[in-house]
Structure formats: structure tokens, C-alpha cells
Structure 1
Amino acid sequence: MHPLKIHITGAYGLIGNLVFKHLSQWPDRYELFGSGRRAVSSHRADLDARKVIPDTHFCIADLSDSQAVHAAFEGMDAVLHIGAVPGPEDTFDDVLDSNIRGTFNVLEAARKHEIKRMVYASTIMTTWGYAKYVEPYKSIFEERIKDIPKDFECVTHDDPIRPTEPYSMSKVWAEGACRTYADAHGLSVICLRIGWVNKENEAQGLFSNSIWCSHRDIVHSFEKALDRTSDPLYGVCYAVSNNNYRWVDLTHADKLTGFVPQDGGGY
């Protein structure tokens, strides 16, 4: 059996390069390819720890360029769609090409090339409104420790979405688009609602601690989700570390993919 050919979009971004580096440990299982708008690391990534991708396995492909995306996906077995404009401060025009049009191009290329396995990098911010507007999550968001109850129910994948700005709105749209392609075209896809991953690999502050995801946990969440897509399904789960004041559910991630975080930030 040949190694699974996997294409990673945003391969020189912080998360994309961490995942590329992690999966490259098993060349007998995975043959990795990557793409990005440029062959340089994101300013969000640790340059000293980056994985340099061979030219034979990397191509320049802006997600908004459908022809480039289609060419990049030829011959692939699976896609890890991680590339995006990542900022909650970005405007609708900022996220339109990469996050909305780009995700459509990725899904269409997967359909055209009969790729049946995909993991999509969504975000915890699809439910950010709970932290901004709903107690007790608002107390965590505002770091009012005395108002945070000892026990509270976590936000789950079944709770209504609650985006707060164009970036998280674009991720909600993409989750829906993935569902469409799962139903209509048999794409097996898992959407990971990722917490806060930073190049320092550490939690900072009470609220940041509550949503932090370590480097070890984020790469394992992708590995587990990728393996799970060997069966036809559509699923959504959170990918964060097991932190103090964590307010999103992790039990469903375990049931869906087998992901159990190994790290956790304390505060």
C-alpha cells in the first residue's frame, strides 16, 4: 500500500507547518505536499523550528486562484485545509478571497479530483459570542475570577453557532460548505474548531489560558482527525488543550476522533 498523499494548504503558516513537520515523521504512512501564497514562513511561526518543505513537494497557490488550487490537488488522497486569513480584526473584504472563495475552490478541487478525505481548520471563534455575551463564559472572557462558578457546562458542538465578526463568520460559512460537499459528493470531512495556538507554545492570562492549544495537542488533533476520515462522515469538534477555565467541550472530540489532549494550561 502506497503512502497516503496529503496536501496541506497554508503549509508555511504556524499550524500548517507544525502539522507538516509532525506527519513527516512517518514517510511510510504519509507523503506530504504543501502550498501557500509564498514559500516563506508566517510571522506567527517560529522560524528556528520550521520544517523546510522540498521544492518538489511545495507549490505557490493562492487559495483564491481556482486553477492553481486544482493543479496543486492533482493526485492527492486527502487534504488538510489550514490556509486562511487568520485575524478576527480583519474586514469582510480581507477574508472573502482566502476564507470563503478559497474554501470553495478547495472543495471544488477535491470534488474534481475525487479526493474523499479532508480535515478543515475551523476556529473556536465560531462560538465566540458565548464568551462575549453569555455567563459564565463572559466572566472568563473578562477575567472576573470571583464570578466564575466552580462547575459549569461547556459549550458543545451541538450548541448554536455564535460568531462575532467577519473572520468567525467566514469559518461558519466554511463549516456549512464542508457539510454540503459531504452530503452531495461523499467527502469525508472533520472540522476542527481550533483554540489559541501561538509560536511561544504557552498560555498567557486567564482567558487566553482557557482557549489555549499546545503544539503537541494541535498536531495530534489533526493526526487523529485525518485517520478518522478513512470512514465516510461529517463531524465538528473542538481542538484545545485541557486547560483551567476551559469552556468548550472535549468529550465529543474523543468520541469522534479519539483525540484526548495531553497538555493543559494552569492559571
Structure 2
Amino acid sequence: MVKKILITGASGLIAGILIKHLSNNSNYDIYGIDKHIELSTRYQLENTPITEGQQPILPSKEKFYVCDITDENQLSHIIEENQINIIIHLASLLETETVEKINHINCYGTKILFDIATKQKHMEMIIYASSVMTVFGYLENEPYSSLAKNIQPKKLLKKITINDSPIPSHFNSSFEAYCNSKIYSEELARQYSSIETVNVKFICARFGWINTTDDITSDLYDWSDKSIWCSHRDLCQFIDRILEKQSILKKFEIYFVSSNNDYCWVDMDNCRQDLNYVPQDGAKWKTT
């Protein structure tokens, strides 16, 4: 049976990577929504050279919808009319926006989506794009803060697990709001999954840093980024594993998703055990 997958935030970086990858698999029928058809602000933020007229990678025209995640009526119509089975929820405002806008889209919008999806008989699973930024507060204290200063730790770092308390960054109010929006949405997913009448599975993927160039060799990057970098190939592998093992997954799971980086400080053991996820790439600390 072909699975119908809806990707929210379809004009974004991660969405483009996944749309290109999943569209090559005949087992999946890919749909997308976004409130615009231009490249997301992520590209400009990373100062990636953009050619004139460059467009995001989107599903075919008849399977892409211009839709705001908070438009309950249109969103419900899209999901129900197309009998969507799986949602990969990527739509999110970055920490460059105001606190009010972040809360509106990332929290309120996500609640609308979860509420609609869990009422659909054909819905099977939601893969929620959380973030390693749910635990970025740990980087503000030793021994993890040395990474932000590009100081090589004297020993391997104790890894933060999914059982450790989330701690948002306090860098600024918008940064903290973004972290808290991911923490909020994870808890929201947990609550929905605990409802006995809800049969939808919720997978919260705490993605590491996924950059536009898929390159981590530049000295311009701090080790707070490099240590949690996730390559495009490892991102696609993770999604493949989730989709392949959907039937045996629990109703609610959280996974850290990064590449095999030196001094990676988040624990991916459950990702390896449950999904056989083995990162193929990684950032290495250069020794002189």
C-alpha cells in the first residue's frame, strides 16, 4: 500500500531534502504545504549563494498547497481530502522572529495540526521536527560550554539523554521562545499519544544542525554547531528507518538525530537500538 505523506513547511531546507529523497521511493506519495512558495529564510541566514530565480524543491503542483499552518479549515480539508497517512511536521518559525510570532506558529499552529490529524481515521503517524535546541541550555555551563569557545574538552562529555530534563537556551528572548516552543510541542505530542482513543503514533525527532551546504569543514563553524551537525544523508537515513519500522514503534518516542561527530553530547543509543540508525558522516576535531 502506498503511504500518503504530507510535509509541512515544504519550502524549507529540511523539507526540500526529504521531498527530493522520498519522491524517489514508489512506496510514498508526497504532498506539501507552506504559506509561500519562495525559499525559506534559512538560506539567507546561512549566507548561502542563491542563484537568481532559484526555487525550493516542492512536490508536484497538484500535490502542493499554499496554506498557513494556523488555517484550521483549509488544513483539515487538505488532510481529509487527500486521505493523508503520515505527516512530517517541519513548519516552524526560527529564533530570528518575535516571541509572539514564534508562539503563534510553533505552538498554536502545531496544536491545530495535532488536533486535526488525531481525528482522522486514516492518519497513522506524525513525525514532529523537534530540535536539539530543547537542551541548548546545557551549552551555557561546563563542560559543554567549552564547545562554544572552540576549546577541545579534556575528556568525553557525558551525553544528554531523552530522559534528561529539557533546558532552553537563554541567549535572548526569541531564542528561548524557539527552544520552549519545541519543548511545548513534544509535551503536546506526549499528551495526544496518551489518549486511549487516539491511534496516531508521535515521533519527536530532535534534529541536530542541518546546514544548506551539507559541509562541516569550515573553520567559521563553532564546535557547538559541529558537535551536533546532521548531514543530509543521515537525515534521510533516519526518516527511512522511521518509515520502515513504523509498525513496531511505540505510540510516543523521542530521538536525538545527529551525525557521528567528535564530542557529540547528545545520546542516540535508543535511535540505534530501535531503528538501527548508524550515522554515515561526522565532523572530526582537527589536531595540530
- TM-score, normalising length: structure 1: 0.92
- Give the deviation of 1:249 after TM superposition: 1.0
Once the two structures are superposed, what CA deviation does each residue of 1:62-106 show, in whole Å capped at 9, x if it has no partner? 11111122122111111111111122x433202122100111111
Contact 1:91 1:167 in 2 (8 A): no
Gapped runs of 5+ residues in structure 1? none
Q: CA deviation at 1:226?
A: 2.9
Equivalences for residues 218-257 of structure 1 within 5 A? 218-231=235-248, 232-257=250-275
Match of 2:173 in 1: none
Query: Does 1:58 find its partner at 2:95?
Result: no
Q: Which amino acid aligns with 1:31?
A: D
Q: Where do residues 126-145 of structure 1 align in structure 2 (5 Å cutoff)?
A: 126-133=134-141, 135-145=142-152
How far apart, in 1, do the equivalents of 2:208 and 2:247 lie? 25
Contact 1:124 1:238 in 2 (8 A): yes
The residue type equivalent to 1:170 in the other structure is: S
Query: Could you tell me which residue of structure 1 aligns to residue 102 of structure 2?
Result: 95
What SS class does the counterpart of residue 7 from structure 1 fall into?
Answer: strand
Which aligned segments of 4 or more residues in structure 1 are displaced greater than 4 angstroms? 45-50
The amino acid of 1:163's aligned partner reads P
Which residue of the partner structure matches residue 194 of structure 1?
207
Match of 1:6 in 2: 5
In the aligned structure 2, how far is the partner of 1:205 from the partner of 1:162?
A: 20
Equivalent position amino acid for 1:79 in 2: I
Q: How many residues align?
A: 261
In 1, Cα distance between the equivalents of 2:118 and 2:256? 26
- Paired residues of 2:32 and 2:59 also in contact (CA < 8 A): yes
Q: Percent identity?
A: 30
1:258 maps to amino acid: N
Give the Å deviation of 1:258.
2.3
Given that residues 207 and 230 in structure 2 are in contact (C-alpha distance below 8 angstroms), is that contact kept between their aligned partners in structure 1? yes
Q: Is the 8 A contact 1:235 1:256 kept in 2?
A: no
* C-alpha deviation, 1:49, in angstroms: 8.8
Distance, in Å, in 2 between the alignment partners of 1:214 and 1:150 is 25
In the TM superposition, 1:1-267 aligns within 5 A as 1=1, 3-27=2-26, 29-45=27-43, 50-74=56-80, 75-87=83-95, 89-114=96-121, 115-133=123-141, 135-145=142-152, 148-164=153-169, 165-184=176-195, 185-203=198-216, 204-231=221-248, 232-267=250-285
What SS does the corresponding residue of 1:154 show, helix, strand or coil? coil
User: Once the 2 structures are TM-superposed, how far is the Cα of residue 58 of structure 1 from its aligned partner?
Assistant: 0.4
What CA RMSD, in Å, does the superposition of the two structures yield over aligned residues?
Answer: 1.7
Q: CA deviation at 1:120?
A: 0.5
SS at match of 2:178: helix
Q: Output one character per residue of 1:190-235: Cα deviation in whole Å (capped at 9) or x when no partner.
A: 1000111111112233222111111111122122223333344210
Bigger CA drift: 46-55 or 13-22? 46-55
Question: 163-172 vs 203-212, which deviates more?
Answer: 203-212
| SS at structure 2 position matched to 1:112 | coil
Which consecutive unaligned segments of at least 5 residues does structure 2 have? 170-175
Secondary structure of 2:42's match? coil
Q: Tell me how far 1:253 sits from its aligned partner.
A: 1.1
TM (norm. structure 2) is 0.85
- Checking the alignment, whether the CA contact within 8 Å between 2:38 and 2:55 is kept in structure 1 is no
Contact 2:39–2:55 (CA under 8 A) maintained in structure 1: no
